[in-house]
A and B are shown apart, each in its own frame.
Chain A
Amino acid sequence: EDQVTQSPEALRLQEGESSSLNCSYTVSGLRGLFWYRQDPGKGPEFLFTLYSAGEEKEKERLKATLTKKESFLHITAPKPEDSATYLCAAINTGGFKTIFGAGTRLFVKA
């Protein structure tokens, strides 16, 4: 069964304290791996898409990487405004079905 697992469930950081979020996936053929950010009361907002192992994408303080079994979202020198839930999603090649993980809730304290 296709599955996406994210860890940790929650992460508390001090401003400037870098860390990484993990997304492990098991899908029957990966079409794409996506990272979204979700703020309270809002829908998810697209951050990155990765298609093949070894691929990396960067945007401001965020960097996403992909291996054959997992993806990492690295946050460098986070700021309080980076506080949000970060969701990982995988789309399989068979039926174009999107499977989301449960998310990591990030809290960055000033």
Chain B
Amino acid sequence: EAGVAQSPRYKIIEKRQSVAFWCNPISGHATLYWYQQILGQGPKLLIQFQNNGVVDDSQLPKDRFSAERLKGVDSTLKIQPAKLEDSAVYLCASSLNLAKNIQYFGAGTRLSVL
């Protein structure tokens, strides 16, 4: 069974530039999560989708971050414009559904904002 795919693995940008991350969840998984993990900290939930609807985005900085999950499968997370404090690993995870919520994670995208 293929795991959660993320790309790119690494990205370096300058502040005020924009960046996008892509995630392909495990086939058949209805719930998709985006997390931000700053070095030395645990993952922080940014947004959670059930199919193509948003379940929780209370910790998403909506003035600069946006996410979508068209057709309830792949998802993209965008940052525009980026700030220095956005430097982190962005993790995507998926689970079968909200009730069966064992999450399977991708390897993440490491973002460096200079």
Interface residues on B, range: 20 to 34
Question: Chain A: how many interface residues by the 8 Å CB criterion?
Answer: 25
Task: State whether the Cβ of B103 lies closer than 8 Å to any Cβ in chain A.
Answer: yes
Task: State whether the Cβ of B14 lies closer than 8 Å to any Cβ in chain A.
Answer: no
Task: State whether the Cβ of A95 lies closer than 8 Å to any Cβ in chain B.
Answer: yes
Contact partner, B105, options A44, A99, A103, Cβ 8 Å: A44
Contact partner, A42, options B35, B43, B107, Cβ 8 Å: B107
Q: Are the C-beta atoms of B108 and A98 separated by less than 8 Å? A: no
**C-alpha gap A74/B35 in the complex (Å):** 27
When C-beta atoms are compared, the residue in chain A nearest to B44 turns out to be A100
When C-beta atoms are compared, the residue in chain A nearest to B43 turns out to be A100
Enumerate B17-57 residues with CB–CB distance to A below 8 Å.
33, 35, 40-45, 48, 55-56
Q: Are the C-beta atoms of A43 and B106 separated by less than 8 Å? A: yes
Task: State whether the Cβ of B67 lies closer than 8 Å to any Cβ in chain A.
Answer: no
Q: From residue B93, how far is it (CB to closest CB) to chain A in Å?
A: 7
Q: Are the C-beta atoms of A97 and B43 separated by less than 8 Å? A: no
Taking beta carbons and an 8 Å cutoff, which residues of B are in contact with A?
4, 33, 35, 40-45, 48, 55-56, 58, 91, 93, 98, 101-108
What are 25 of the A-B contact pairs (CB < 8 Å)?
Answer: A4-B42, A31-B101, A34-B102, A36-B105, A42-B107, A43-B91, A44-B105, A46-B104, A49-B102, A87-B42, A87-B43, A89-B42, A91-B101, A95-B55, A95-B56, A96-B48, A96-B101, A97-B56, A100-B35, A100-B42, A100-B43, A100-B44, A100-B45, A101-B42, A103-B42
